[in-house]
Amino acid sequence: MMKIILKEHSKQDTKISKAKKMARNLRKEVQTKERVCRFLQIQTKSQVFHHANIVPEQITRRTIADIKASLPFIAGSAKRLMEYELSLMYQLLHTKVSVVFTGIGLLVRFISVCCMIVAFISYHYLVDKNRLENSELILGYVLVSGAIFVDIISGIKLCFSDWLLMYIYLKSWKKYIPVLADRMSPEPHKSWSAYLSNKMNSIRDRILQGRRWSRSVSQYNMITLCLKLNRLEKWPFSDRVISKLDKDHIFWYFTSVEKKIEELQCLIFGELKEKSLDPSDAMKACSHRGDWALLRSKSYVKLQWSINEFHYAESLILWHLATELCYQDNDHTDTGKIICKNISDYMFYLLAKKPELLAPVLGNIWQIVFQDTLEEAKRFFSKHLVKDHQKACKKLSNVKPKYRPAEVKGNSSKSMLFDACRLANQLQSLGENRWDLMSRVWVELLCYSASNCQAIVHAQQLRQGGELLTFTWLLMNHLGVGSQFHEQQIKK
* Amino acid letter for position 355: P
The pLDDT score that the predictor gives to residue 24 is 58
CA dihedral 273, 277, 281, 284 (to 10 degrees): 60
pLDDT category, 237, cuts 50, 70, 90?
A: low
Average pLDDT score over residue span 427-453: 91
Q: Which of 128-137, 291-300, 439-448, 450-459 has the lowest mean pLDDT?
A: 128-137
Hey, how many other C-beta atoms are within 10 angstroms of the C-beta on 23?
A: 10
Our CA angle for 441, 444, 450, nearest 5°, is 145
pLDDT category, 179, cuts 50, 70, 90?
A: very low
Average pLDDT score over residue span 370-393: 91
Sign (positive/negative) of CA torsion 44, 49, 52, 56? positive
d(C-alpha 228, C-alpha 253), whole Å:
10
Alpha carbons within 13 A on the beta-carbon side of 311? 15
The pLDDT score that the predictor gives to residue 287 is 81
- Please provide the DSSP assignment of 19-42 as one string: HHHHHHHHHHHHHHHHHHHHHHHH
Rg of the chain over all Cα atoms, to the nearest angstrom: 29
pLDDT category, 22, cuts 50, 70, 90?
A: low
| Cα 330 from chain centre | 33
The pLDDT score that the predictor gives to residue 444 is 94
- In percent, the amount of the chain with pLDDT more than 70 equals 66
Hey, how many other C-beta atoms are within 10 angstroms of the C-beta on 151?
A: 15
d(C-alpha 132, C-alpha 121), whole Å:
17
pLDDT category, 221, cuts 50, 70, 90?
A: very high
d(C-alpha 276, C-alpha 278), whole Å:
5
The pLDDT score that the predictor gives to residue 246 is 54
Our CA angle for 472, 310, 396, nearest 5°, is 95
The pLDDT score that the predictor gives to residue 176 is 41
The pLDDT score that the predictor gives to residue 248 is 56
Count, in order, helices (H) and strands (E) of the chain: 28, 2
pLDDT tens digits for 29-83? 445 444 444 444 444 433 333 333 333 333 333 444 444 444 445 677 777 778 8
Helix (H, G, I), strand (E, B) or coil at 418: helix
Beta strands per DSSP E along 114-231: 217-219
Q: Which of 29-43, 379-393, 424-438 has the lowest mean pLDDT?
A: 29-43
Report which DSSP code applies to 54.
-
Element (H, E) at 218: strand 217-219
Report the range out of 94-108, 162-176, 437-451 with the highest average pLDDT. Answer: 437-451
Mean pLDDT of the chain: 75
| Whether the Cβ atoms of residue 162 and residue 84 lie closer than 8 Å to each other | yes
d(C-alpha 126, C-alpha 348), whole Å:
63
pLDDT category, 301, cuts 50, 70, 90?
A: confident
- In percent, the amount of the chain with pLDDT more than 90 equals 20
Helix (H, G, I), strand (E, B) or coil at 120: helix
Say yes or no to pLDDT of 313 above 90. Answer: yes
| Whether the Cβ atoms of residue 166 and residue 198 lie closer than 8 Å to each other | no
d(C-alpha 40, C-alpha 32), whole Å:
12
The pLDDT score that the predictor gives to residue 67 is 42
| Predicted TM-score (pTM) of this structure | 0.75
The pLDDT score that the predictor gives to residue 380 is 92
Hey, how many other C-beta atoms are within 10 angstroms of the C-beta on 75?
A: 17
Average pLDDT score over residue span 199-203: 60
Report which DSSP code applies to 433.
G
* Amino acid letter for position 275: K
Q: Which of 42-51, 88-97, 434-443 has the lowest mean pLDDT?
A: 42-51
Q: Which of 112-121, 180-189, 295-304 has the lowest mean pLDDT?
A: 180-189
d(C-alpha 411, C-alpha 393), whole Å:
26
Please enumerate in sequence order all residues whose Cβ is within 8 A of that of 90, keeping only pairs 6 or more positions apart, or say none.
Answer: 213, 462, 463, 466
The pLDDT score that the predictor gives to residue 188 is 43
| Whether the Cβ atoms of residue 221 and residue 178 lie closer than 8 Å to each other | no
Helix (H, G, I), strand (E, B) or coil at 202: helix
Please enumerate in sequence order all residues whose Cβ is within 8 A of that of 56, keeping only pairs 6 or more positions apart, or say none.
Answer: 45, 49, 62
| Whether the Cβ atoms of residue 100 and residue 484 lie closer than 8 Å to each other | no
Average pLDDT score over residue span 305-329: 92
The pLDDT score that the predictor gives to residue 347 is 95
The pLDDT score that the predictor gives to residue 255 is 80
Say yes or no to pLDDT of 263 above 90. Answer: no
Average pLDDT score over residue span 129-138: 81
Hey, how many other C-beta atoms are within 10 angstroms of the C-beta on 89?
A: 18
> Angle formed by the axes of helices 434-452 and 417-428, to 10°?
130
